[in-house]
Every structure is written in structure tokens, then in C-alpha cells.
Amino acid sequence: MNDMNDAPDAVHDETPEATEINYAEELAGRDKDIADLKDRLLRQAAETENTRRRLERDKADTAAYAMTGFARDLLAVADNLRRAVAALPAEGFDGVRAGIEATERELTAIFGRHGITRIETDGQKLDPNRHQAMLEVDGEGVEPGTIVAELQAGYVIKDRLLRPALVSVAKA
């Protein structure tokens, strides 16, 4: 027995129409691959752009708020200057008072140049984002929730809170 003679011929007899269908299917598959790759490329480009923008924003924030810790430390100096002026007797020590007040004004000017401002409290309604109520007091003729006295000044740097103002508030 000769197995080679028994095997049918393995010749592929494709018609031109079948070949065109195969080419069309292959082209459609490649077009889909190209579209998928294009979509992935566009998504990666968008993600890269978003990352670049986020890094630029973070860099700007870092530059704007880099001195936050240092500024918080200087707030203690401002507080102590205010206490020193308040502790001086009403009479005498005019030269010392003038020197301390000049130093305090200079520190306030430096704060202003760097975007550090004092939080306003006089007659304001309590804002829990900027004020911290330490006491409730009877506020005759004052609407409840209104700040009656400032116990410690609060400060912001640009739009961020450095330290809340410690205040006393009128009772309801």
C-alpha cells in the first residue's frame, strides 16, 4: 500500500472572489487595529497633558505657599510685639513704645508683601472657616453669633488659612 497515492491533492484552489473577501477582511481587521492604536495614542496624549497641567499647578502652589511654615512661626513674633505694646504703662516709655510699634508696622508690611493678611473680626459674624469661637458671652444689643472680641489675631496667606482668629461670640 502506498499512502502517498491514496492522499488527495493538497492544492488550494481559491477563486478570485474568495481572495478579495480575504483581503477585505484583513483590511477591515487592520483598520480596526489602526483605530484602536489611534485611540490609545490620543488617550495617552490627553493623560500626558493632564499630568503636565497638574504638575504646573502643583509647582505654582508650592511656590506660592512655600513659606507657610515660616509665616506661621513669624505670627508668634507679631503676637509678642502686640503684647509688648499692651503691657507698657500708659505714661512713660514713649521711646520703647514707638520702637516696638515701628517694628510691628514693618512686620505687617512684610506680611503684606508676601500675601499674608490679618483676618477681620470686628463686628463680623462667626465664620468657622476663619474664626475659632473660644467663649460665648452676653452680647447686649448684638446679634447672636456676632464676634464681640478678638482674643488672638488670625491670618491668611493669599487664600489659605494660616491660623484662625480666636474670638468670643455673642450668645443666642
pLDDT of residue 14: 62
What value does the mean pLDDT take over residues 56-70?
88
Distance (Å, whole) CA 127 – CA 151 = 15
The more confident residue out of 151 and 19 is 151
Q: What integer pLDDT is reported at residue 11 of this predicted model?
A: 47
Q: pTM for the whole thing? A: 0.67
Residue with more model confidence, 68 or 50: 50
Looking up cell 482674643, which residue turns up?
A: 151
Whether the per-residue pLDDT at 4 is higher than 80: the answer is no
pLDDT digits (tens, 9 = 90+) for 155-172: 999 889 999 999 999 987
Contact between 151 and 158 (Cβ < 8 Å): no
**Residue 13 or residue 115, greater confidence:** 115
Sheet holding 165-170: strands in order across? 131-137, 165-170, 147-152
Q: Is the pLDDT of residue 18 over 60?
A: yes
- Sequence-ordered alpha helix ranges (H) in the chain: 3-6, 16-65, 68-87, 94-113
pLDDT value of position 9? 47
